[in-house]
Amino acid sequence: MQADLTMGNLASALTLQSEEAALVDELRAGSEEAFAWLIARYHQPIYSLLARTVQDRADAADMAQEVFVKVFRGVGSFHGESSLRTWIYRIALHEASNRRRWWMRHKQQEVAIEQEMADTESGQPMRLVDVLVDPAESPYEMAVHEENRARVEAALNQVPEPFRTTLILRDIEGFVYEEVAEMQGVNLGTVKSRLVRGRAALKAILTAPEQTPSAARTGFELPLGEEAQ
C-alpha cells in the first residue's frame, strides 16, 4: 500500500512538472493564451499577498501588474530550479521589499487598516480591511470566523517584518518551509525562527486587545543584521 501511494505521488509530481514545462514553453513562445491563463490563475493570490505585505490596496494593484510584466519579460531566464509558482512569488516579494524601502526613504507612513481609502459609487467609504480578503475561501479564512476576520487581519498588520511576511507565506499561502526559505533568501533555521516569533507576536496582539500596537510589538523587533542568515 505504501509503495502504491509513493508511486502515485511520484506520478502526480511528474505530471505537474510536465504540465508546467509545457506552460513555460508556451510563455517563452509568446502565447497570449498561456499568459492569460497564468494571470487568471495567479493574479488574485499575488494581489492578496502584496496587499497584506505593503498594506496599500492601490499600490498592491499596481505592483501586481508589474509582477506579471516582469514574469512575461523574464520567463526566458526561468530554468526550473524551483516551481513556477515559487518563482512568481519570489518576484512579488522582491517588488514588495523594494516598495517598503521606498517608503522608508521617503518617510511615508503606513496606511492604517481601518482608514477610509475612498468612496464607493454608492457614496459609502471603503476601508482597506474590506478588500484584503480573497473572494474565495482559503484554508486560513475558513479557520477564522467571519466576525473575527477583520481583527485578525488588523493584528497581522501589527506583526513586524520580516516575521509578518513569513507568517503570510507559511500560514496563509501554505508554502512549505523550503519554498519560504528560497523566496526569502534565508536558511530553514531562519524561516522557523521567524515563524515562531511571528506566531508569538500575532498571539500576543490578539490576546491583548487593550494594548497599543507599539506595546504589543515589544519584544519581537529584531534587526535583520542580528538574525542568522
* Chain segment 116-131, per-residue pLDDT in tens: 444 445 555 555 445 4
Q: Do 133-224 and 8-118 have the same topology in CATH?
A: no
Q: If you classify domain 8-118 with CATH, what class do you get?
A: mainly alpha
Distant-in-sequence, close-in-space partners of 71: CB < 8 Å, separation ≥ 6: 38, 88, 91
- To the nearest 10 degrees (0 to 180), the angle between helices 146-158 and 32-54 is 80
Q: What φ, ψ does residue 45 adopt, rounded to 5°?
A: -60, -40
Per-residue confidence (pLDDT) for residue 209, from 0 to 100: 57
Domains in the chain: boundaries: 8-118, 133-224
CATH number of 133-224: 1.10.10.10
Q: Is residue 11 pLDDT above 60, yes or no?
A: no
Query: Across the chain, what does the average pLDDT equal?
Result: 74
Record the cell numbers describing residue 192, joined without a space: 522557523
For residue 76, name the pLDDT band (cuts at 50, 70, 90). confident
User: Measured between alpha carbons, how far is residue 75 from residues 32, 71, 90, 110, 149 in Å?
Assistant: 13, 6, 13, 33, 36
Rounded to an integer, the average pLDDT of 126-140 is 50
Residues of the chain with pLDDT > 90: what percent? 23
For cell 467609504, what's the residue?
Answer: 125
Q: And the C-alpha cell for 156?
A: 497581522
Going by the DSSP 8-state scheme, the letter that residue 75 receives in this structure is G
Stretch 26-38: mean pLDDT:
88
d(CA 164, CA 166): 5
Given a cut of 50, whether residue 92 has pLDDT beyond it is yes
Confidence band of 82 (pLDDT split at 50, 70, 90): confident
In whole angstroms, how far apart are CA 61 and each of 65, 126, 162, 198? 7, 16, 22, 26
Query: Does 228 score more than 70 pLDDT?
Result: no
Question: Per residue in 54-65, pLDDT tens?
Answer: 877 888 888 999
Average pLDDT over residues 1-23: 57
Q: How confident is the model at residue 101 (pLDDT cuts 50, 70, 90)?
A: confident
Q: What is the pTM of this model?
A: 0.59
Query: How many C-beta atoms lie closer than 10 Å to residue 129's C-beta?
Result: 19
Higher pLDDT among residues 220 and 19, named by residue: 19
CA–CA gap between residue 224 and residue 209 (Å, rounded): 28
Greater model confidence, 202 or 104: 202
